[in-house]
Amino acid sequence: MAIMNIRKIGDPVLRSKAKEVEKISQKTIDLIENMSNTMYEADGIGLAAPQVGVLQRLFIVDIGNGLIEVINPKIIEENGQTIMEEGCLSIPDETGAVVRAKEIVMEGYNKEGKKIKIEADGLLARALQHEYDHLEGNLFTDRVIDEEKLEKEINE
């Protein structure tokens, strides 16, 4: 299958809200396969359809435990907060500290059309939230915090 072009910051598609997947077709399954080949080739742990120029609500993640594909995801629960350094295939050579929910519950569908529920914490929770943001037209750089300022607030 194909390696796709990953859109970079400045491309307007990255700031566009993705549309629901109406029907999971062979085209959807091919897109997921091409996206996974692209993500692995780029040494990423996640990739959302808008990052390859497709405004559909689907993404993939693999933090080392196997590929997870999520179509039409919804975050239904968030608990706690955690700060971690993030990067993005669409924003090469840039990282920043981002506050995200420590634990989440997400629902969606897999490529077979089966409803899935993912209870995640740690890196998986972060990756799911990061990719979900792409579907909303948001980038991690929108969420980067000033760690020194935050530490100062905590110590006051």
- Beta strands 58-61; 115-121: pairing state: unpaired
In this prediction, residue 148 carries a pLDDT of: 65
Mean pLDDT of the region 27-45: 98
Task: Please name the helix (run of DSSP H) or strand (run of DSSP E) that holds residue 128, with its range, or none.
Answer: helix 122-135
3-state class percentages of the chain: helix first, strand second, coil last, to nearest 5: 30, 35, 35
CATH 3.90.45.10 fits 12-155, yes or no: yes
pLDDT tier, 146 (very low <50, low <70, confident <90, very high otherwise) = confident
Known catalytic residue: 69?
Answer: no
Q: What DSSP character marks residue 16?
A: S
Tell me which amino acid residue 63 is. Answer: I
What is the share, in percent, of the chain residues with pLDDT greater than 90?
92
Largest interatomic CA distance in the chain? 56
Which of 41, 85, 131, 136 is catalytic? The answer is 131
- pTM of the predicted model as reported, rounded to 2 decimal places: 0.93
**52/3 Cα distance (integer angstroms):** 10
**Res. 154: pLDDT tops 80:** no
